[in-house]
Structure 1
């Protein structure tokens, strides 16, 4: 789905950020792809299930580290 949202030059996922600090990962994504707005979300939090081309959720554990690959959606 994410490929429908971005051009071939825009990144749509960031696997290299798994295990890094969530806040730093969010800032990195926002700088790298200005077409999206990344937000840090604690694992287990309730969120909407809608798909958005301008959103990246950065899921973090209790320690604030990225738990899964951040991607557009």
Structure 2
């Protein structure tokens, strides 16, 4: 048999869901962390060894990362 919820319980769940939504969306718009790229073209840095004492380091930011921060 289906479980019935009171209007108060449903209202509580709706308010709780709406309260959590902005926090979840804020995580999508934060600047890129300084961490290795998890996948090709993704946000983060990539280092490539060119010689014994030479490396090429590149960084890709998220769309929310300011260009000046990526170039710094």
Question: Shorter-chain TM-score category?
Answer: under 0.3
User: Of the two structures, which has the highest relative contact order with CA contacts closer than 8 Å and spacing of 6 or more?
Assistant: 1
Mark the structure with the bigger radius of gyration.
Answer: 2
Name the structure with the higher helix share.
Answer: 2
TM-score calculated relative to the size of structure 2: 0.19
TM-score calculated relative to the size of structure 1: 0.19
Name the structure with the higher strand share.
Answer: 2
